[in-house]
Structure 1
């Protein structure tokens, strides 16, 4: 049986992909943790330079709520984001 515990460095190596658009959003750069409950409430995703268009106007990080993460797999994290969160 495979170990079900991951470290932040394990998660940082995975591509984050939006299942709605099929777009590669980037890589996890940090976690947001509720210090009262100790639960992860969101991940911050930094666009990877290899996926960012030269003409892109906004290259800031995207915050994805934990409840929008569908699956953390071997190589990717699948999220369900209906709209680009960093545009608001």
Structure 2
């Protein structure tokens, strides 16, 4: 019998990445740290929408934020997510 919880974890990771904006955010963060203001300008969507997507990615352990002065900068910390996004966005 297989361990279903392992598949649940993978499915949750895939669900979190299964949105074009979140894929774009993770792809952008793989190049280095970034704050919400910069993401908002690049994505051309409201800050509240960026923050909602970041909250989903954070809750699944894909990204982490750290305070830098008055801003929070985000980085990708989940290696599986990095591999998945790299594979998906290969040319």
What TM-score range do you get, normalising by the shorter chain? Answer: under 0.3
RCO higher in structure (CA 8 A, sep ≥6): 2
Which structure has greater strand proportion? Answer: 1
Higher helix content, 1 or 2: 2
